[in-house]
């Protein structure tokens, strides 16, 4: 896969046989098809563009989606707090467009495996296409309602981003390895609270709920200070461990 990232931060994924068009000019399809990552190509307006290989974040920013996707601060928190690594086995639901499933697959590597459940067929198709386009093979997209059961066992992490996640905590407990993690992403406090109570009842350990806040700084002539605008809220994360 090849991509153009212009000096304004705009990203364009290049498609075989298609020319590139922007307000900075047009680059012909044959020029792009023959260009390699690292090359520089010129538009008809004599503007230079560099060809780069998209990393996972570049790809997620431009991939097709039909619903909201998890954002980096939350994905990063899940990866850091569960200590997910090469060879881990993950169950994820719902898939949506596949943002966190792609990140899980990226981290668990070729020796690990991700199973991601999506109840809607149209969303599952989009996710399958995104995963195939990114070129990662250790993710299986299952067009299934996870509440009808989890097919897998020996799982190191079950991640749930769907309504009433606590309805399947018992099945999650059965699917997890000892030391494995259940993580819930809940936009609403009441969903996080009920999840906490149900996890406690089922003897999960180390149960914690928190949210991660990310505040950027702006560097100006007059001084450096936090930006006025920030993402005020995305979701709460609940972590619980099987011991
Ligand atoms: C907010 S989106 C998920 C975003 C995704 N986790 C990401 O990484 O960006 C929630 C998804 O859960 C799916 N869903 C809801 N209930 C489900 C269920 N019982 N089983 C599987 N998927 C479900 C919805 O169709 C929707 O695509």
145 lines ligand 1 (CB under 6 A): yes
Residue 1 has pLDDT above 90, yes or no: no
CATH classification of the domain holding 232: 3.40.50.150
Pair (44, 123) in one structural domain: no
130-162: per-residue pLDDT in tens?
Answer: 999 888 999 999 999 999 999 999 999 999 999
pLDDT of 105 reads 98
Pair (15, 84) in one structural domain: no
As for how many domains the chain has, the answer is 2
Structure pTM?
A: 0.93
Which atom of ligand 1 is nearest the CA belonging to 69? 9
Query: Which residues form the domain of 92?
Result: 59-241
What percentage of the chain exceeds 70 in pLDDT? Answer: 100
Pair (136, 236) in one structural domain: yes
For ligand 1, atom 2: residue with the closest CA: 96
Pair (37, 145) in one structural domain: no
CATH classification of the domain holding 37: 3.10.330.20
Q: Which of 13, 32, 54 is the last residue of a domain?
A: 54
Pair (123, 224) in one structural domain: yes
Pair (37, 107) in one structural domain: no
102 lines ligand 1 (CB under 6 A): no
Pair (41, 65) in one structural domain: no
Pair (64, 47) in one structural domain: no
Residue 240 has pLDDT above 90, yes or no: yes
Greater confidence (161 vs 7) lies with: 161
CA distances from 235 to 21, 73, 92, 188, 241 (A): 37, 10, 17, 7, 20
> Could you give the CA distance from residue 14 to residue 6 in angstroms, rounded to a whole number?
13
Pair (228, 117) in one structural domain: yes
19 lines ligand 1 (CB under 6 A): no
Q: What is the mean pLDDT of the chain?
A: 95
Residue 11 has pLDDT above 90, yes or no: no
Q: Which of 21, 37, 54 is the last residue of a domain?
A: 54
pLDDT of 220 reads 97
Q: Find all residues with CB under 8 Å of 205, minimum gap 6, and list them.
A: 240, 241, 242, 243
93 lines ligand 1 (CB under 6 A): yes
Tokens of 37: 């990552």
Pair (106, 67) in one structural domain: yes
Pair (129, 225) in one structural domain: yes
117-134: per-residue pLDDT in tens?
Answer: 999 999 999 999 999 988
186-204: per-residue pLDDT in tens?
Answer: 999 999 999 999 999 999 9
The answer to whether the CB of 235 falls within 8 A of the CB of 210 is no
- When pLDDT is cut at 50, 70 and 90, the band that residue 9 belongs to is confident
Pair (7, 79) in one structural domain: no
- When pLDDT is cut at 50, 70 and 90, the band that residue 14 belongs to is confident
């Amino acid at each position: 896969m090849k991509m153009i990232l212009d000096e304004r931060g705009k990203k364009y994924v290049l498609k075989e046989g298609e020319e590139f068009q922007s307000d900075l000019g047009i680059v012909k399809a044959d020029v792009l098809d023959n260009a390699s990552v690292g090359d520089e190509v010129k538009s008809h307006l004599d503007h230079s563009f560099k060809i780069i290989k998209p990393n996972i974040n570049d790809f997620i920013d431009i991939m097709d989606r039909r619903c909201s996707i998890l954002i980096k601060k939350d994905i990063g928190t899940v990866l850091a707090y569960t200590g997910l690594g090469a060879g881990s086995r993950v169950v994820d639901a719902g898939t949506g467009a596949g943002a966190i499933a792609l990140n899980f697959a990226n981290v668990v590597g070729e020796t690990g495996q991700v199973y991601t459940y999506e109840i809607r067929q149209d969303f599952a198709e989009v996710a399958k296409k995104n995963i195939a386009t990114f070129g990662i093979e250790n993710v299986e997209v299952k067009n299934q309602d996870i509440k009808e059961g989890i097919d897998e066992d020996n799982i190191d992490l079950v991640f749930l981003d769907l309504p009433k996640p606590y309805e399947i905590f018992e099945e999650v407990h059965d699917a997890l390895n000892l030391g494995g993690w259940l993580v819930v992403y809940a936009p609403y406090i009441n969903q996080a609270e009920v999840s906490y109570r149900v996890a406690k009842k089922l003897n999960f350990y180390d149960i914690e709920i928190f949210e991660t806040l990310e505040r950027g700084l702006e560097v100006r002539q007059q001084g450096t200070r936090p930006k006025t605008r920030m993402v005020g809220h995305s979701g709460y994360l609940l972590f619980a461990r099987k011991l």
